Chain A
Amino acid sequence: MKKKLITKQTKARLSSFIFPILLLLLWQFISSAGYASSAVVPSPHKVLKTFQILLTQQTFFRNITASLERVMIGFLIGSSTGFLFGLLMGLSRTAEKIFAPSFHTVRQVPMIGWIPLIVMWFGMTELPRILIISIAACYPITLNTFAGVRSVPREYLELASVYGFNQLKLIRRVILPAALPSIITGLTLSLGMSWAILMAAEIFIQTQYGIGTQIQMGRQGFNMPLVVTGILTVGLLGFVMTMMIEKVARIVDRGRAIGNET
């Protein structure tokens, strides 16, 4: 059989580049056709140049590490709390009755709305930034863990009771693995929320280092390329982290991943 030069897999991978490239072309077209001033829409070339300069500066990396650290700590605190909370409400109808109404009420408050309160409590320090990210990360994982635990098929629970599993073993061997796809979706959404709120946390609660700080500084100095590179950096980092979660998920959840591929 003749070996194909482009396999189906690489084709699928290549196709995911089509849309970004089109966007890039559109961007180039708008800036070079002069529809907008270069101060408002910097050309891709200019942005790339700014990136190159930033890569030689220590501040840029400090901004990235500061933001990454914030997101990671906030995400870890928020998602682990949310996971346990969702698990508790999923397992116990009593816990659901007690906590769910308050949870759904508090959830309606937009994240930005918390910032003044938390700043007044804790001042313009690192703690409120991380706290805001934690709260944001908490919601999606709570909801998805809860839904995942509740939708474990009754048949699996029956199977576990046939084998005389106790509560702990039931959770560990049946409920958690069955709810895993939901939990992973929750984690991915939580991570997205963390990134989204990171910007607000860094811009509203000013800090020396952070990608949000970079964007804010770009705005104040009317340095559009700096703003755009900041936005792109956040997007790319978020993308890489989501891919990592999905990769880990596929390894952990091989049985179902295989089922979905075929």
Chain B
Amino acid sequence: MSVEKGTLEIKNLSKSFIVDNNPLHILNNISIKFPAGAFISIIGGSGCGKTTLLRIMLGLDTDYEGEALMDGERIEGPGSNRGIVFQDHRLLPWLTVGENVAFGLDRLNRKAKKLIVDEHLKLVGLSGFESAYPSQLSGGMAQRVAIARALANKPEILLLDEPLGSLDALTRIHMQKELERLWLLEKITMVMVTHDVDEAIYLSDKVVIMSSRPGVIKKIIDVPSSRPRDRASSEFMQIKAEILKEFHLGTEYPFAYAI
């Protein structure tokens, strides 16, 4: 069976740590398919195993039950077909912006490297910054460089671990648009872990809701709206209410506070 490149599938995956001789279940029987080219967000409270799930998808953690398949093959370790953007930009302070973007491109010669670096800095709107150092960039700019670094390896799937979590609200909204633009342009699969319900709805085809201890998938909500999405539309609000309900944050008694 051939699978379209960029497909990541998790089948009946469980993971537990042993703490004081007792197994502590982190992930319990997770099954989820990330189809090629889709944008999928994972929302969940802290401790729901999102980070562990991402680590498994990256290939940093291979000790689990069940299956994690990339393009139909079992994930045995990290690979260049999977890229990651962390919450902290994680740029190396001793390298220039250009050198950071070229971090995973050692197999290429100088010229090819420069070409890819230029292309990707242009892609994230930072042409001309290649010789700047991370300490000279703002938070939003640094995160763009991190995205450029991840995309420079031409991954089939980009994993985003709360990529905009440390940015201020306005930069954040701007970067959400940027992420959407990059996703539409690159046509790759993107999986984003986030705490921000609006962000998830704005960007995703599907929103996966996880609950904690042990981490299970509670619900998967489709977001059928056309793009770009209007955060003030009634459809957007309805989906948001549906998601918040899962966290018991819905307005069950909408007038309770007015009394």
Contacts and interface: CB of A to CB of B under 8 A. Distances in A.
Contacts of B80: 164
A256 B60 contact: no
Contact of B94 (A159, A161, A163, A256): A256
A162 B133 contact: no
A151 to B, nearest CB: 14
Given A258-B133, A258-B136, A262-B135, A162 B78 contact: yes
Interface string A110-141: 00000000000000000000000000000000
Contacts of B145: none
7 contacts: A155-B90, A159-B86, A159-B103, A162-B84, A177-B95, A259-B135, A262-B135
Interface string B95-113: 1100000011010000000
Nearest to B58: A162
B79 A164 contact: yes
Contacts of B134: 255, 259
Contacts of A169: 106
Interface residues of A, number: 20
A254 B135 CA distance: 11
Interface string B67-79: 0000000000111
Contacts of B79: 164
B93 A259 contact: yes
Contacts of B178: none
A174 B92 contact: yes
B88 interface: yes
Interface string A182-195: 00000000000000
Given A155-B88, A163-B104, A164-B78, A255 B60 contact: no
A158 B159 CA distance: 14
Q: Please indicate which of the listed interface residues A162, A177, A262 has the most CB atoms of chain B within 10 Å of its own CB.
A: A162
Interface residues of B, number: 22
Contacts of B60: 158, 161-162
A253 B135 contact: no
Contacts of B93: 255-256, 259
Tell which of B78, B79, B94 has the most Cβ of chain A within 10 Å: B94
A47 interface: no
A169 B103 CA distance: 12
B191 to A, nearest CB: 15
Contacts of A254: 94, 133
B136 A253 contact: no
A258 B135 contact: yes
A103 interface: no
Q: Name the 4 nearest CB pairs between A and B, nearest first.
A: A259-B135, A255-B133, A163-B104, A255-B94
Contact of A253 (B86, B94, B104): B94
Contacts of B90: 155-156, 159
Interface string A237-262: 00000000000000001111011001
Nearest to A158: B60
A256 B135 contact: yes
Contacts of B78: 161-164
Given A164-B80, A255-B134, A259-B134, 16 more contacts: A155-B86, A156-B92, A159-B103, A161-B78, A162-B58, A164-B77, A178-B94, A180-B94, A253-B94, A255-B92, A255-B94, A255-B96, A255-B135, A256-B93, A256-B133, A259-B93
A219 to B, nearest CB: 48
Interface string B43-75: 000000000000000101000000000000000
A256 B92 CA distance: 10
A162 B92 CA distance: 14
A79 to B, nearest CB: 21
